[in-house]
């Protein structure tokens, strides 16, 4: 089989045909239409063969519920199987090693942003989400609940007031968060969720907290960090937590290694800080639209050199004559 990458549109179509024809209710006409699609182009047939190879794997990756999803056309589990299978088809030519290291959860997301990208999404109820760099969300609305899952990154959520009888829930790795107001910021960290209530309150339920023991109501103007067992005591909202909306990174006596880690979220490639200069302190407001300009500013204000091995591999090191 050719190792030429398969177009993602064709991969999605192959996944849709495969899942559709696995349903026990698929009739002769549908099977004939699927065969006609396969014969239309050599890449269609190649994608179909990969769908047959990876169909079982897609259901395993989608979870135990994925095994029955093919019989439920509108189920969330079926959507997950479709997205996973399409990704497996498109990624197959890259090889097994790359396949194992792919960021599946982010790639499967309904909406995502690339490094350095910010984007606004319109929600089905008229609400809005503003995604920050490197972010990913799933959106699942039904007649009973409006649900958004923050998979990675950071977002501003604006919730319409007129749907008070239909809960708006944000799921993260650590918590289920019911948004009871209209404007919130959330960020997914490796082991915690950051939540800021800008307008209105939020009810936070850590996932591993027994019963209502860890339940917390976060009022407007406050922020917290939540792990899977408990939320930290609320604090007054730090104003710099909204700077990303203006594409600004603000530092106030911040360690250089922490600053570089944050700046690296907005810059493709590898951005590192040598341990010899990691403890230097940096203050100021920096425009994220041009990260090279930020690095030049660092070299002019701190005793550091900016070493470019490639445009995508940059290290800050100690200046030799400092």
Q: Provide the b/e sequence for 192-201 (b: ≥16 CB within 10 Å).
A: bbbbbbbebb
Q: What is the pLDDT of residue 184?
A: 98
| pLDDT for the residue 57 | 67
Q: Which pLDDT band, with edges at 50, 70 and 90, does 191 fall under?
A: very high
φ, ψ for residue 148, nearest 5 deg: -125, 135
Q: Where is 282: in which H helix or E strand? A: strand 281-287
Between 102-116, 190-204, 280-294, the lowest mean confidence (pLDDT) is in 102-116
Q: Which residues of 261-300 are buried (b: 16+ CB within 10 A; e: fewer)?
A: ebbbbbbeeebbbbeebeebebeeebebeebeebbeebee
HSE-up (13 A, CA, CB side) for residue 95: 2
What confidence tens digit (pLDDT) does each residue in 34-61 have?
889 988 888 898 888 888 887 776 666 5
Instruction: Give the three-state DSSP class for 208.
Output: coil
Q: Is the pLDDT of residue 2 over 70?
A: no
Neighbours of 64 (CB within 10 A): 9
Compute the average pLDDT of residues 238-251.
94
45 vs 201, residue with greater confidence: 201
Tens-digit pLDDT profile for residues 306-315: 999 888 899 9
Is it true that 111-238 and 247-318 share their CATH fold? Answer: no
Of the given ranges (24-28, 71-75, 104-108, 114-118), which has the lowest mean pLDDT?
71-75
Architecture of the CATH domain 247-318: 3-Layer(bab) Sandwich (3.55)
* pLDDT, averaged across the chain: 86
**Which of 43-57, 174-188, 262-276 has the lowest average pLDDT?**
43-57
Quote the pTM value: 0.71
Confidence bin at 160 (pLDDT 50/70/90): confident
pLDDT at 315: 95
pLDDT at 98: 45
Domain 111-238, CATH 2.60.120.1440 — does that match? yes
Rounded to 5 degrees, φ, ψ at 253 are 50, 50
What's the whole-number mean pLDDT along residues 245-262?
Answer: 96
**In the chain, what are the domain boundaries?**
8-100, 111-238, 247-318
């Amino acid at each position: 089989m050719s190792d030429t990458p398969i177009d993602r549109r064709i991969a999605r179509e192959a996944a849709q045909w495969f899942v559709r024809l696995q349903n026990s209710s698929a009739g002769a006409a549908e099977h004939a239409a699927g065969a006609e699609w396969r014969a239309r182009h050599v890449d269609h047939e190649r994608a179909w063969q990969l769908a047959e190879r990876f169909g079982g794997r897609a259901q395993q990756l989608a979870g135990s519920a994925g095994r029955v999803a093919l019989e439920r056309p509108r189920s969330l589990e079926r959507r997950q199987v479709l997205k996973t299978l399409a990704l497996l088809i498109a990624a197959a030519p890259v090889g097994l090693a790359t396949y194992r290291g792919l960021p599946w959860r982010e790639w499967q997301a309904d909406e995502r942003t690339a490094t350095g990208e910010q984007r606004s999404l319109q929600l089905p109820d008229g609400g809005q989400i503003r995604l920050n760099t490197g972010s990913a969300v799933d959106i699942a609305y039904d007649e009973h609940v409006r649900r958004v899952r923050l998979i990675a990154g950071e977002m501003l959520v604006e919730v319409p007031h007129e749907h008070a009888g239909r809960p708006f829930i944000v799921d993260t790795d650590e918590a289920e968060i019911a948004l009871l107001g209209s404007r919130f910021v959330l960020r997914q960290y490796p082991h915690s969720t950051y939540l800021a209530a800008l307008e209105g309150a939020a009810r936070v339920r850590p996932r591993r907290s027994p019963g209502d023991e860890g339940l917390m109501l976060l009022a407007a103007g406050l922020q917290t960090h939540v792990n899977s067992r408990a939320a930290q005591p609320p604090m007054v909202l730090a104003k710099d937590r909204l700077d990303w909306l203006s594409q600004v990174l603000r530092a106030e006596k911040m360690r250089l290694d922490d600053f570089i880690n944050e700046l690296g979220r907005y810059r493709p490639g590898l951005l590192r800080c040598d341990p010899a200069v990691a403890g230097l302190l940096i203050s100021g407001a920096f425009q994220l639209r041009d990260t090279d300009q930020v690095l030049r500013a660092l070299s002019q204000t701190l005793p550091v050199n900016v070493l470019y091995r490639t445009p995508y591999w940059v290290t800050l090191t100690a200046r030799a004559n400092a």
